[in-house]
Homo-oligomer: A and B are copies of this chain.
Amino acid sequence: MFGTVVDWRSSVIREGKQITESTDQTVDWAAFADAWRKEYRPSLERVRQGEIPWQNLDELHRESLEELLDRFDVEGLSESEIVHLNRAWHRLDPWPDAIPGLHRLKPHYVIAPLSNGHVRLLTNMAKRAGIPWDLILSAELSGHYKPDEETYLTAVDLLDLEVDNVMMVAAHERDLDASRELGLQTAYVHRPLEWGPEKADSTEKPEKNAYDIVADDFIELAECLDAPPIIR
């Protein structure tokens, strides 16, 4: 989801700006968004390594948010503003190709997210943005964060399918490598803008044969999967 289906960076920047636009504070929300996202993996690792008990992304995001508000000298936010900002991760906008591509896939395949985001976050995001999932799958259903194998295997088990009848789609090779290791099919979708236009050149696209599919976006993914547009 984060980076693959939705553009977390622009959306978090937008949400940050909304919070401070009526104040006289100048905050580098782009740097803030990047820093927040960079706390994500270490937070998950603490859960994965058993240092802290299971916490959902709202809880993990909140912990890093408080530290970042301090680091970026963002002052005077009320508790309800902090809660609202923390839930910016429920209000992320899809990349422009994601929903059209998913609409092409949906008549032919069961489509679901498999994110470290919890069920409520993914549900809110889909409902706000109109993402046409058939069901919501999440790390939360296994109590394990990706790339723990339990996350993927619980999802496959709930789909009541064999691993090789399930395809993991992601913009992140670590996620795909873990999936492939377990026998899932894999599709890489290239998102050079995930970390902003200035970093676009530093995101390298893997070789065509690195995964079952290597696509530039969800439209190309749908084409590779023989999912033509449905004319209604």
Contact = CB atoms under 8 A, between A and B. Distances in A.
A158 B120 contact: yes
Interface stretch (A28-36, A44-52, A134-142): A134-142
A58 B160 CA distance: 11
A126 interface: yes
A122 B135 CA distance: 9
A127 B110 contact: yes
A159 interface: yes
Given A140-B158, A141-B141, A158-B140, A127 B134 contact: yes
A129 to B, nearest CB: 12
B110 A160 contact: no
B120 A160 contact: yes
B110 A123 contact: yes
A118 interface: yes
A68 interface: no
A29 to B, nearest CB: 26
A119 B136 CA distance: 10
Contacts of A127: 110, 134
Nearest to A119: B158
Nearest to A110: B123
A204 to B, nearest CB: 35
Contacts of A126: 134
Nearest to A158: B119
Interface in A49-86: 56, 58
Nearest to A121: B160
Contacts of A158: 118-120, 140-141
A161 B124 CA distance: 12
Nearest 5 pairs of A and B residues by beta carbon: A120-B160, A135-B136, A119-B158, A123-B135, A123-B134
